[in-house]
Structures are given as C-alpha cells and as structure tokens.
A and B are shown apart, each in its own frame.
Chain A
C-alpha cells in the first residue's frame, strides 16, 4: 500500500513539471479568464437592431431548426458541417454582413463551436458574434 501511494505521488509530481512548462510556454495563447470573450457575444436587442445587415446562423440540430427558428436564419451545425457550410457560402453569405450564431440556450456550446469554426476553418472576414442566451432569449423577447 505504501509503495502504491509513493509510486502514485511520484507520477503525479512528474506530470506537473511538463504541464507547468507548457502553461508558461502557452501563457499568451490561453484564454485564462473565460471560455469566450464577452466581446464575442451580442444581446438579442442589439442584434435585432442590425436588421438587414445580419445573417442569423442556427447551430442547433436540424430537427430543432425545422421545428422553429429565427426568421431568415440558415441552419449550419456540426453534424453536417461540410455540406451546410458550402450551402451557406453559396447562398446566404455576404462579406459585408455581420453573422450572429445561436443555439438553444445560454448553457449550450454549439453556437460557440460553429462561430469558432467559421472564423478559424472557413476564415470568414465577417464580424461573427454569439447570441447571448440563444434561442430561449430570442423567444423571451419575441
């Protein structure tokens, strides 16, 4: 038992060393304070104010989109990313418009993932935001 605890402690301590080195090396690149910067979010009222200058992207599963969605929104989720993205770029996308991505509620992360992929993978130059509170917030302010 003593040997087991000693061995475990050594392994736990050994792993700390490279982790600290990696943390120091990546300290500028890691978002230490929050998962998503507050500036990446947009309130429902603000986004509505953008009127025709906004493209709504629904990141929820397709079945939820079919049930109901923000008028004019396009469905783009990670389940059918490649097909959905090419469809989106070929039809609704415009470089001048802002893009607002939403999912079901404040607790979901689908919008954040889709927004990140639009920035990093699709490399869209648009101002891409996440709707604060998601579809639930939209319904509450309907």
Chain B
C-alpha cells in the first residue's frame, strides 16, 4: 500500500514540476499572486521549486533518499496549504498553478481537498512498518 502511495505521489510531483519548468515566468506570476514575496524571490523560487519537486518525486519512486524526499514534500505541501488559506482569508483570488494552466480551473475547495488528500498520503509514508510479532 505504502509503495503504491509513494509512486502515485512521486509521479504527481514529477508531473507538477515538469509542467512548471516549461514556463517559469508564468509560475513566478502564480507565486507573486499570493502577495507574500517581492517579485525577484518569486522568480528564483519559480526556477527552483519545480526542480526540487522533480528530485523529491524521483526520491519517492526510486526510494533513494526516500525519507529526505518525503520530508521536503511534506514541508512543501504544509507551506502551500498555509499560504493558500492565508491568501483566501486576505481575499486574494489566487490560482496555485501547481499543475500548469489546467489547475486554474479548480476552485479553492477542490484545491484544498486535493492538498489534504496528498498530505494524508504523505503522513502514511512517514509511518514506519510495525514490527512483526
């Protein structure tokens, strides 16, 4: 079960990273929409985060640096959920752009539901297998 979840989440993060690598300026605009960072750090994050997602996705699938990958992806998801809720409470109409243009058509509730589902999957990956009696 854990193996399947790791492959699914890893694949999802590789896809999410790949679609954002194609157009980093568009992703920088998505980050900038949260109004949490100045423009220049948004650009640097837009260039860096997709690659980090891809490497972490690969770590989840190949199990090389597995726990490091799970740790980073969990941290990224948690930060993203906090940023989304903060933006919503500030009345900002943001699109995360997480999966390129397609995700722009998902509303906030669907985004949040998907994020918590992913976070649930990641928490499952944190659990160590119980010792055999």
Q: Which label, helix, strand, loop or mixed, suits the secondary structure of the A interface? A: helix
Of A5, A8, A23, A35, which one neighbours B29 at CB under 8 angstroms?
A35
Interface range, A side: 20 to 34
- Known contacts: A26-B24, A30-B43, A31-B25. The answer to whether A19 contacts B51 by CB under 8 A is yes
Q: A18-44 interface mask toward B, CB cutoff 8 Å, 1 = contact, 0 = none?
A: 110011001001111111000000000
- Known contacts: A12-B72, A33-B39. The answer to whether A22 contacts B21 by CB under 8 A is yes
Q: Which label, helix, strand, loop or mixed, suits the secondary structure of the B interface? A: helix
Verify if B110 is at the interface (C-beta below 8 Å from A): no
Verify if A82 is at the interface (C-beta below 8 Å from B): no
Task: Check B39 against A11 for contact (C-beta < 8 Å).
Answer: no
Q: How far is the CB of B75 from chain A (nearest CB, A)?
A: 9
- Closest CB pairs A-B (n = 7): A7-B68, A15-B52, A7-B65, A15-B51, A8-B68, A19-B48, A19-B47
Residues of chain A having any CB pair with chain B under 8 Å:
3-12, 14-16, 18-19, 22-23, 26, 29-35, 107-109
